[in-house]
Amino acid sequence: MAMSQRFPEHLPGQLGLTACFTHAITTTTLNTPMLKKLLLAFTLVLSVSGIAQAQAVVCTSLTLRGTLIIPVRDYPGKFEVLLLSRMGEQEFAHSYVDLTNRFFMDGLQPGQYDVVVRLPGFKELRERVDIEQNTNSESCAQNEIYWLTPEDTVVIVDERLRGYPKEALDEFVLAIKADSDKHYDQVVQHLERVVKLAADWFDAHCELGAAYEEVHRPSDAEREYRIALELKPESFRVLMSLGRLYVLIADEKLQDPLTRDSAPPIFRQAYNLLAAAAARDPKSAMASYMVGSVEFRLGSYKDAEKDLKHALELDPSVFPARITLINVYVAQRMWQDALENIDEFILGNPSSAFRQEVMATRAVVIRRLSPNP
């Protein structure tokens, strides 16, 4: 990829959305609270519960949210969790785990089920779960935590001890619970203890990096992601996490004229990591989008166009890719292409919070297309 040595000039009609969502290379500066809100949108964090309703609700269907604790460094990156009949094999739901070993199943009915994970190198996990309709609850979601046990011949009293010390595992569980309450300082404290007790626990370093981001300690977050990258250099998760962090850091530097010139090298670091992630998972729309967003920031418009289009082909719902693609065309004064993608965004995202800004950009593009602009 041929990287431009300068940033593109701000053009009338460019969308001034910042952070991982879109283009930050403009003279428009968002207020800090809005910027932080956008920055946090792409942070990979512990997340096992939603925002509770203010009052009790009656659920027509129920949701199971689960966290898998895997107390070893190496394990397959993609696997499935099954919800089967109690002591049987009838399948009611299934879910792939996400990057942080969480899974989500919705549309469930009350009853007794088994949560089952069959992963090479580990004993089969089969745990009973009672999905209950609880009218006193403030949520239709039920949160559970499960452990995977590595296969070996050692017989010990507590099955959870097989990978790492019990204290480390217990602290990890406390971190998950603190995160569900959004007590991020406590999350940091628990995970700092975990990595001292289990220095090669990849997941713990990744989660600690994310927790540091929540408490606005990007340097510490970078350190933890770097440790995780040393443990698993080919991990899609950590390549994305560290690459995304560098994008956020560089985007913030772009907001200040005094630090603007220091952004390009950081974007190049981000590009190398995100491109490696995209190579690891060519089907990831988010990875393609992130690569394209960095290419755009560095002025490599043709490469950005190719990767952003690829992201939208993989998943048309990744609307930040559409907005960034609009900016790619506006930056090159390719007004017709910009208009076509603006209209695609408006049709596909009728209730978007960015609709007003996109409509304003559309008006500018229409003027540019008129015979007498």
Instruction: Please check the confidence at residue 5 and state whether its pLDDT lies above 80.
Output: no
Identify any residues that bridge with 85 across adjacent strands, giving them in sequence order: 113
Count H helices, E strands: the chain?
12, 7
Identify any residues that bridge with 126 across adjacent strands, giving them in sequence order: 116
Last residue in a domain, options 124, 156, 188: 156
Q: What mean pLDDT is predicted for residues 13-17?
A: 57
90 belongs to a structural domain? yes
Q: Helices (DSSP H) in the chain: which residue ranges? A: 32-40, 166-180, 184-197, 202-214, 218-231, 236-254, 263-280, 285-297, 301-314, 319-331, 335-348, 355-369
117 belongs to a structural domain? yes
Query: For residue 131, which amino acid is it?
Result: I
Predicted pLDDT of residue 44: 30
Predicted pLDDT of residue 29: 27
Q: What mean pLDDT is predicted for residues 265-280?
A: 96
Give the CATH number of the domain where residue 348 resides: 1.25.40.10
24 belongs to a structural domain? yes
107 belongs to a structural domain? yes
Question: Phi, psi (5° rounding) for residue 62?
Answer: -120, 160
Residue written as tokens 């040595």? 5
50 belongs to a structural domain? no
What pTM does this model have? 0.70
In terms of residue numbers, what domain contains 103?
62-156
CA proximity to 255, closest of 34, 4, 5, 12:
34
Q: Are residues 19 and 73 in the same domain?
A: no
In whole angstroms, give the CA distance from residue 147 to residue 152: 15
- For the chain, the average pLDDT equals 80
Q: Are residues 67 and 25 in the same domain?
A: no
279 belongs to a structural domain? no
CA angle (320, 335, 350) in 5-degree steps: 40
Predicted pLDDT of residue 161: 43
Last residue in a domain, options 135, 156, 177: 156
Predicted pLDDT of residue 212: 96
Of all residues in the chain, the percent with pLDDT exceeding 90 is 48
Q: Are residues 13 and 74 in the same domain?
A: no
Distances (CA, A) of 88 to 64, 83, 126, 129, 298: 19, 10, 11, 13, 55
- Minimum mean pLDDT among 62-71, 177-186, 231-240, 316-325: which range? 62-71
Q: Are residues 86 and 17 in the same domain?
A: no
pLDDT tens per residue across span 135-181: 455 567 888 888 787 776 443 444 444 568 889 989 999 998 898 88
Q: Are residues 2 and 75 in the same domain?
A: no
> Which carries the bigger pLDDT value, residue 113 or residue 39?
113
88 belongs to a structural domain? yes
Last residue in a domain, options 156, 175, 195: 156
Q: How many domains does the chain have?
A: 2
Give the CATH number of the domain where residue 132 resides: 2.60.40.10
Predicted pLDDT of residue 373: 55
